[in-house]
Structure 1
Amino acid sequence: MSITRSLALASVALCAVASAAAAADLPTMKGPPPAPVASPFSWTGFDVGLQGGYGWGAESDDLSVTSFGFTADHFTANSPFGGAHVGYDQQFGSFVIGARAELDGFDLHGATAASNGSCYSEGCTVTLAFHNTWQAFLLARAGVAFDRWLVYVTGGLAVGDDRESATITQTNGGTLWSGSQTQTLTGGAIGLGAEYAFDAHWRLGAEWRYVDFPKSSGFSADGVPYSAGFNENLALVSLSYGF
C-alpha cells in the first residue's frame, strides 16, 4: 500500500472519530424545554393611591372647674374620612422598609354640655364642641413579604386641625358668651396593616391606626384658658398603584 493511500485512509478514520466524539457531547433532547422560572414579586418602588375608612375617638380638655363649677373634659367624636397617599418601599430579601405621606379629609366632631346652678349667680350651661376637618401623616413602615403579601407595622408624625367652640347660656335662656378657636395640632400615630399585590402594579391594603394629638394650650371660653386635644382609632382600606 502506498504512503499516499495510507495517509488518506488515516485522515478518513480520524474525521470519523472526531465526528462521533462531537455527537456524544450534544445534549439528548427528551420532550419540550423546561418553562422559565418566574421571578419572585418585588415590593421595591414608588406607589400612589387612595384610602378611606372610619375614625372614632374622643376630645379631651382641662376646662377650668373653678370658673364654671364643672368640667366638660371628655366626649366622643367620630367620622368617615378619605384621601390620597404617595410612598416608597425597598425590599431586602423578605424584609421591606418604606415611607408614606398621606393627606385625608375628615368631619370628626362631637359635643357635650353641662350645667351648674351657681354659675354666674343665675346658673348657666356650657356647651363645648370639637371639629376636625383634615389630617396629614408622614409614616415609616417595616414588614415581612410573603411573595405578593406584605404584613407591616407603621408609625410616625400626625398633623391635624382642632376647632373648639364654646357657648355659655343662662339656665333660664339667653346666651352669655359664644366663641371658637382653631389650632393646628401635632401628634403621633402607630398602626398595623397588610397589603396584597394583584399584579405588578395594583395593590389592596387594610390598616388599623391609632392617632394621638396631645392637649395644646391657647383655647379659651369667656376668658377662661384651657388646653384641648384628641385621639382616635382609624380603620382604613387603600388601593395603590406601584411603579
Structure 2
Amino acid sequence: MKKILVGVIGAIALSLSAPASAADLAARPYVKAPTPIAAIYDWSGFYIGLNGGGGSAHKCWDNYTFAGVLVGGEGCHNATGGTVGGQLGYRMQSGNWVFGVEGQGNWADFSGSNTSVLFPAQLNRSRIDAFGLVTGQLGYAWNNVLFYVKGGGAVVGDKYDVFTTPGGVLLASARETRWGGTVGAGLEVGFAPNWSVGVEYDHIFSGNRTLTLNTAAGVAFQSDRVGQDVDLGLIRVNYRWGGPIIAKY
C-alpha cells in the first residue's frame, strides 16, 4: 500500500511539472501589416543625353554700302533642316521644384535661299551648321513627370553665299560665329530608373549682324546686314546618375 501511494504522489508531481500544451498557451497578438511604401521619383543628379529634331532660322538681308549707308532690302527666307547633338547637365530637386544648369551642342543642316529683290540676278543663301546653348532651368515635377522652362546664352555657326541666278555660280561668301540669347520649355518623363525621355522647344535670338561677303580671291564683293531668329523642336533622351528614387512612407 505504501508503494502504491508513493507512485500516485510521483505521477501527480510529474504532471504538475510538465510544460503546458498548445491548448493552454495564450493566443498570439495581431500585428498590422506595414504601410506600403510609395516610390517618389527624384530628378536630382548629373545627366547626359542625346537629342535630335529640326529647326528653322528666319533670315532677312539688307544691302549696305561699305561706308554703312543702307541701299535697300534684299528679301527674307527660312533656313530649315535637321539637327542632332548632345547635352550634359545637373539638376537639384527641392520638394516639387527642380533647379538645373545645362550645356548643349548640336550639329545642324539648316539652309534656305531667296532671289535678291535689289539684284534679281543674285541668289542669297544662308546656312547654319552648328549651335550651342548654355542655360539655367526651373522646373516643377509631378513624381516622374517634369515640366521646365530654360534660358541663357546661345552661339550659332553661320555661312552666307551669293550665287548667280540662273547658273548657280558662286560670287561671294562669308562665315561668322554669332552670339545671342535663348529661351525654351520642355516636358520630360522618367520611364525607368535613371532614364527619361522628353520634348523641348527653344528660340534663339541672334539679332542683326553686318557682314562683308568676299570673293574666292578675298576681294570684298558686297556688304549686308542679316537678321536672324532660330526656332528648334527637339526630342531628348537622358541618362541620370545620383539618387533616382527615394522610398517614402
Counterpart residue number, 2:210: 217
Secondary structure of 1:167's counterpart equals strand
Aligned amino acid, residue 88 of structure 1:
Y
Q: Counterparts of 2:228 and 2:81 in 1: how far apart (Å)?
A: 13
Pick aligned residue for 2:147 from 148, 151, 154: 151
Structure 1 stretch 70-79 or stretch 96-105: which is displaced more? 70-79
Counterpart residue number, 1:208: 201
C-alpha contact (below 8 Å) 1:98/1:141 kept by paired residues: yes
Instruction: Name the CA shift for 1:67/1:236 in 2 (closer, same or farther; >3 Å).
Output: same
Secondary structure of 2:134's counterpart equals strand
Matches within 5 A, 1:115-154: 125-154=121-150
Counterpart residue number, 1:58: 58
Shift of 1:174: 10
Matches within 5 A, 1:53-92: 53-64=53-64, 71-92=73-94
Counterpart residue number, 2:42: 42
C-alpha contact (below 8 Å) 2:151/2:182 kept by paired residues: yes
Q: Counterparts of 2:228 and 2:155 in 1: how far apart (Å)?
A: 12
Q: Counterparts of 1:89 and 1:174 in 2: how far apart (Å)?
A: 49
Pick aligned residue for 1:227 from 225, 228, 233: 225
Aligned amino acid, residue 241 of structure 1:
Y
C-alpha contact (below 8 Å) 2:62/2:70 kept by paired residues: no
Identity of paired residues, percent? 24
Does residue 242 (structure 1) correspond to residue 240 (structure 2)? The answer is: yes
TM-score using structure 2 length: 0.74
Counterpart residue number, 2:111: 109
Does residue 160 (structure 1) correspond to residue 156 (structure 2)? The answer is: yes
Q: Counterparts of 2:134 and 2:109 in 1: how far apart (Å)?
A: 20
Counterpart residue number, 2:19: none
Pick aligned residue for 1:198 from 188, 191, 196: 191
Matches within 5 A, 1:19-34: 28-30=29-31, 33-34=33-34
Q: Give 5+ residue unaligned stretches, structure 1.
A: 1-26
Q: Counterparts of 1:40 and 1:139 in 2: how far apart (Å)?
A: 27
Shift of 1:110: 0.7
Q: Give 5+ residue unaligned stretches, structure 2.
A: 1-27, 215-219, 242-249
Instruction: Name the CA shift for 1:67/1:94 in 2 (closer, same or farther; >3 Å).
Output: closer
C-alpha contact (below 8 Å) 1:48/1:85 kept by paired residues: yes
Q: CA RMSD in A?
A: 2.8
C-alpha contact (below 8 Å) 2:162/2:171 kept by paired residues: yes
> Relative CO higher for 1 or 2, CA cutoff 8 Å, sep ≥ 6?
2
Shift of 1:189: 1.1
Q: Counterparts of 1:103 and 1:147 in 2: how far apart (Å)?
A: 29
Deviations along 1:69-106, whole A, 9 cap, x unmatched? Answer: 75323111101111011011011111101011111111
Deviations along 1:52-78, whole A, 9 cap, x unmatched? Answer: 111123112322399997532311110
Shift of 1:226: 2.0
Q: Counterparts of 1:197 and 1:75 in 2: how far apart (Å)?
A: 39
Shift of 1:38: 3.3
Secondary structure of 2:107's counterpart equals strand
The number of residues matched between the two structures is: 208
Secondary structure of 2:139's counterpart equals strand
Deviations along 1:106-157, whole A, 9 cap, x unmatched? Answer: 11111111366xx7xxxx6121111110001101110101000001111111
Q: Counterparts of 2:29 and 2:100 in 1: how far apart (Å)?
A: 49
